[in-house]
Structure 1
Amino acid sequence: MRANSALGLLLLLNVAVAGTAAAATQTTVDCGRLLDVKAGVWRERVSVVVENGVVKSLAPTGAVKGDIDLSGHSCLPGLIDMHVHLTGESHKEVESLRMRLSQDVADDAYRSVAYAERTIKAGFTTVRDLGADEGLNVSLKRAIASGAIPGPRMFTSGTAIATTGGHGDSSNGLSRQLAKATGRPTPHDGVINSPEQAREAVRARYQEGADLIKITATGGVLSQAASGQNAQFTDDELKSIVATAKDYGFRVAAHAHGVEGIKRAVRAGVDSIEHGTYMDDEAIALFKKQGAYYVPTISAGRYVADKAKDPEFFSPLVRPKAAAIGPLIQATFGRAYKAGVKIAFGTDAGVFPHGENAREFAYMVEAGMPALEAIRSATLNAAELLNQGGRLGSVEPGYAADIVAVSGDPLKDITVLQQVKFVMKDGVVFKR
């Protein structure tokens, strides 16, 4: 029954698909100008020749017959968001509780179809999805990759790894009766309490088809728990996770607000810290020494800070955390950038509505990052952190044919990236 239900769901979703037809063997895109993100300059009147979903060559416009006319637009590589949750979106406390008690994973699956489509139409052709229950983000990745539904290329962590009571323990906030009825979460559910269980949890993510590991190294804002910043893993547990992840070819992303949890995670060898709210000078030095990336998620911080003003949006446990932590992330980002920490673009979309990811660029520029560097954080830097540097993040021969186009010059006005006019992924047009 379960297999038949899954097949039926996939077939049903197929009827709603738009823009996922197979790409023509060869397509030429005429760009008014194309941003060379590596050199940091515009190339005027460039034709991009695409063959079988890959950039075959670049030529002066007119040298080859054009199929898609973007001569009045500025073209860039497809954008990459390194921190999203495509299988959910924030709601008011009462609505969230109702959904948690009355709805099934299939309800989340249907809603995620719209979230994925919004994301790619906003110009984000690749995302890193950092946590969903029941392996739902892995299933969404497969549906998109097969062409069943439109959406960005996904790299997924499967279920995030937490500790008992920590940010990511799905039993937080349940009554004793409900907790007993649902059972204590196990390493297969992403909850660990020892180095041995840490290894088991990493292997479970491999088993479920994840591409990377995501851990919750500190408390968080939206979990039903008192602290948003306490360290939640021991050093031995972190070392076990990182060592096992490397055995399986996984990179490790660590959610972390509090400074002690940030330092423990960076020392253990994680590849990126998400949020990083309370990082201090010692933590910044550790980032630079270890070569870890910082994924700031300013958009989520600003969103929860704003919603904390509404007494009905968050629970009494969450509201003070949102009010305290949310407003700090943008300033932390500014200090980290000026200190030379490597930055990869990430928003935590799902905390705020999907499709609004590009607002992050304006917040980054507002905090002191030049527009070109902000764009590089969502192209070259993000591709490097994904270990996809030779395939994504640039429009050049041999790279995936991921192209977005906007009116105007985002190097002069970064907000034009909030109004993407054209989107191509792997040579397939998703927005004209």
Structure 2
Amino acid sequence: MLLSTSGIRTIAIATAALLATSAAQAQETPFTPAPATAKPITIHAGELIDGKGKVTRDVTVTVLGTKITAIAPGKPAAPTYDFAKLTVMPGMIDTHVHITAHFNDEGRATDKDETGEQKGLKWAENVHVTLLSGFTTVQSIGSDDDLVLRKAIEGGRLPGPRLLTSGKPINNPKMTPDEIRAFVDATKAKGADVVKIFASASSRDGGAPTMTDAQMEAACGEARKIGIRTWVHAHAAAAVRQAINAGCYAITHARYTTQAELNLAAERGVFIEPSWGVVQQNYLAHQANYEGIGNYSKEAFEQMRRYQPSTPAVWHMMLQTKGLKLLAGGDTNAGGEGHNVEETIWRVEHGQPAMDGITTTTSADAAALGLGEVTGSIAPGMEADIIAVKGDPLKDITALRNVVFVMKGGKVYKNVAQ
């Protein structure tokens, strides 16, 4: 579902104004959002998936303000929303997006030479479409632009999912360990939620390691010292092992990993966030939009096509690794916004039980992001991040594409259930 023309124009103007905000102003206290109604909201669900593996039927969720206050069997006399024929569940979470990435007005995957107004419009579209697709929380890793966008969403000036961000990543293999430690400190100081680290080349370039052990240990050691999570881009098995040995928090991709690294990750409690169902499919579907920009060469697209057949085997190895902590992240990039759920659908269609796919995309992701007591499940005291879908995703995971109701923090952003 896209914004109306007038809605886009309004949001674009608001977002563009944010781009002109100075760095000093960006540190000011954000606007206080309009308070949620004091009147209780009741949501009757034909089926309720709580995000932690439990299913109940014919149940009513009560929301007051921004919080869930009660869950009770049956249907009240006049529920605010009667979803007797729908499945109600927590808002979904994507731990790996690039929320400001977009196609420019010429359809190219770049913002070079764009005005602030043009960027603002695209950002507003991305966050709004992502929210309406049922994702009420996302972690965006890779751009300082996210900090401005996060402020706008938190302040109630822009509709979008709860946004966590790394800001600019560590992506310079020439940095000394001391420079890396200083970068980590600066990342936390500017208000980032996580540090993104590139420990290998892109899979398009073979995915070889790009950091030394000393550099990796400096990055993740400093992050642990000051209390900020690390998210490590690593494809090669050697890079994955390096990140695990350095005590890093989470590893994204791990495309060329072996059973040895997965066993070690399970033993050390390191999260693995592979990206199987969105990113490569999106690149291949939009080759004309990407080719010729950066390392998106014709040869790179041929490389992507060559390694796609090997993906299910690596995924099955991950599924079968006892104790491995898997997360759901799509590496959603320009062209993929609003299609985040394809990651979960791909996983279930390739062997993961549907309930496991759903709990990973809700409560497990929330816990890994430090939000386990805030969102990711439907229970009294949790934020009222609630969606409803047509059909039963436990029987047909593609039902997650049919989101007809979205509530975030007690506020309804979408209701097309009728």
Contact 2:96 2:331 in 1 (8 A): yes
Could you list the per-position Cα deviations for residues 166-209 of structure 1 after superposition, in whole angstroms to 9, with x for gaps in the alignment? Answer: xxxxxxxxxxxxxxxxxxxxxxxxxx511101111112212322
What is the distance in 2 between the residues matched to 1:290 and 1:412?
A: 34
Alignment equivalent of 1:259, drawn from 237, 245, 248:
237
> Measured at CA, do residues 67 and 241 of structure 1 come closer, stay the same or move farther in structure 2, by a change above 3 Å?
same
> Measured at CA, do residues 208 and 325 of structure 1 come closer, stay the same or move farther in structure 2, by a change above 3 Å?
farther
The reply to whether residue 198 of structure 1 matches residue 180 of structure 2 is yes
Superposition pairs for residues 118-157 of structure 1, below 5 Å? 118-132=129-143, 135-157=144-166
Could you tell me which residue of structure 2 aligns to residue 395 of structure 1? 378
Alignment equivalent of 1:371, drawn from 354, 360, 375:
354
Could you tell me which residue of structure 1 aligns to residue 42 of structure 2? 28
> Measured at CA, do residues 94 and 373 of structure 1 come closer, stay the same or move farther in structure 2, by a change above 3 Å?
closer
Superposition pairs for residues 217-256 of structure 1, below 5 Å? 217-221=199-203, 227-256=205-234
The reply to whether residue 117 of structure 1 matches residue 135 of structure 2 is no
What is the distance in 1 between the residues matched to 2:165 and 2:291?
A: 32
The reply to whether residue 343 of structure 1 matches residue 333 of structure 2 is no
What is the distance in 2 between the residues matched to 1:330 and 1:251?
A: 29
Contact 2:86 2:388 in 1 (8 A): yes
The reply to whether residue 300 of structure 1 matches residue 300 of structure 2 is no
RMSD: 2.8
Stretch moving more, 65-74 or 321-330: 321-330
> Measured at CA, do residues 311 and 129 of structure 1 come closer, stay the same or move farther in structure 2, by a change above 3 Å?
closer
What is the distance in 1 between the residues matched to 2:77 and 2:327?
A: 36
Aligned-pair CA distance for 1:377: 0.7
Question: Partner of 2:256: helix, strand, or coil?
Answer: coil
User: Residue type of the partner of 2:132?
Assistant: K
Q: TM-score, normalised by structure 2?
A: 0.85
Could you list the per-position Cα deviations for residues 22-56 of structure 1 after superposition, in whole angstroms to 9, with x for gaps in the alignment? Answer: 42123222222211332x34211211111220111
Could you tell me which residue of structure 1 aligns to residue 10 of structure 2? none
User: Residue type of the partner of 1:253?
Assistant: W
Contact 1:297 1:329 in 2 (8 A): no
Alignment equivalent of 1:86, drawn from 92, 95, 99:
99
What is the distance in 1 between the residues matched to 2:284 and 2:89?
A: 32
What is the distance in 2 between the residues matched to 1:301 and 1:125?
A: 23
> Measured at CA, do residues 126 and 7 of structure 1 come closer, stay the same or move farther in structure 2, by a change above 3 Å?
closer
The reply to whether residue 61 of structure 1 matches residue 69 of structure 2 is no
Contact 1:275 1:329 in 2 (8 A): no
Contact 1:90 1:353 in 2 (8 A): no
Unaligned runs of 5+ in 1: 13-19, 165-191
> Measured at CA, do residues 228 and 94 of structure 1 come closer, stay the same or move farther in structure 2, by a change above 3 Å?
farther
Could you list the per-position Cα deviations for residues 151-176 of structure 1 after superposition, in whole angstroms to 9, with x for gaps in the alignment? Answer: 00011111111124xxxxxxxxxxxx
Contact 1:252 1:270 in 2 (8 A): yes
> Measured at CA, do residues 337 and 409 of structure 1 come closer, stay the same or move farther in structure 2, by a change above 3 Å?
same
Aligned-pair CA distance for 1:403: 0.6
Could you tell me which residue of structure 2 aligns to residue 174 of structure 1? none
Question: Partner of 1:151: helix, strand, or coil?
Answer: coil
Could you tell me which residue of structure 1 aligns to residue 58 of structure 2? 45
What is the distance in 1 between the residues matched to 2:48 and 2:232?
A: 34
What is the distance in 1 between the residues matched to 2:348 and 2:68?
A: 30
Question: Partner of 1:355: helix, strand, or coil?
Answer: coil
> Measured at CA, do residues 90 and 405 of structure 1 come closer, stay the same or move farther in structure 2, by a change above 3 Å?
same
Contact 2:47 2:57 in 1 (8 A): yes
Could you tell me which residue of structure 2 aligns to residue 273 of structure 1? 251
